[in-house]
Amino acid sequence: MEFSQLKRLVESFGKLRVAVVGDIILDKYVFGKVERISPEAPVPILEVEREEYRAGGAANVALNLKAIGVGEVALLGRIGADSEGERLKQILSEKGIASYLIETEEVPTTLKTRLIGRAQQLLRVDRESKKLLEEGESKRIIALLEEFKPNAVILSDYAKGVVNPTLVEGLRKLNIPVFVDPRPKNTLLYKGFTCVTPNLKEFEEMKTLLGIKENNFEGDTQKLKEKLNLQRLVVTLSERGIALVEPSGVKYFPATAKEVYDVTGAGDTVVATLCAGVSAGGDWESACKLANITAGIVVGKLGTAVPTLEEIFSHLKQGL
């Protein structure tokens, strides 16, 4: 496809309404310098210089959708009734994302704190609860989805308790396309959805869970796609790009990243771009080409990040 055609596809994202449902995370980055080792234990001492907060998990998928030009984006999930939840709501509001969030005293907002010294991650500290959403909460999310009337839904599963059988059954009844960024433990919940986008490690775990024992990538991807009754399966292959599993076979799209700096959130970018590309009327190959470009952009940035339209168009011009 020529540059002008892919450019027109991206420009058509503005007509879309896409909802993201899933586990919402607040990412905290503590930046500093390391110049000595602690006398108390053989660990580096980080002298803090600044702190930064970013929306992660399902919230980062929503930010990616907005960044690539999707017209209306809604985020549905759970946060705690705490300062971290308030910070997330502020980030979402500033980016123009509609949030339909269940706030609870019982479960804290998931917080991932990364300590960074000289652009290198030293440690990550997680605060989270994996308590499943209650049935009434799941049904509330489905009701809110019906009000929003999206063209498509992205299910962003980080296995923190939002994705559960009640929620999934409600999604199926909506009869709209559902794209899934998966966690292997919930593999069986994804049956019948439009597309699932595991990375290679997740694919191997999902394959094992489904009892697929052969060691042939193309044959195994077809079997997994068939067992889950998916329209498409897209496997991200890190530095090797993306594999699109179609009924006719597997097609490969080489990675476009010039330099891999940080892979955090790259899966969020892939599923967001695939969903937007297909929902806007593009074919699966075009959507995969765009997903490769956007993923290549974000892995060149530190931490949870999003591409910009300017970066996308620049990459399109260079590559086509």
Residue appearing with tokens 């919940």: 189
Residues 6 or more apart in contact with residue 18 via CB below 8 angstroms: 65, 70, 72, 73, 74, 150, 151, 152, 153, 154, 275, 276, 279
Beta bridge partners of 54: 27
Catalytic annotation, residues: 268
Distance CA 40, CA 191 (A): 52
Q: By the 8 A CB rule, do 21 and 171 touch?
A: yes
Is residue 79 within 8 Å of 101, Cβ to Cβ? yes
Query: What tokens does 24 get?
Result: 């919402």
User: Are the C-beta atoms of residues 40 and 57 closer than 8 Å to each other?
Assistant: no
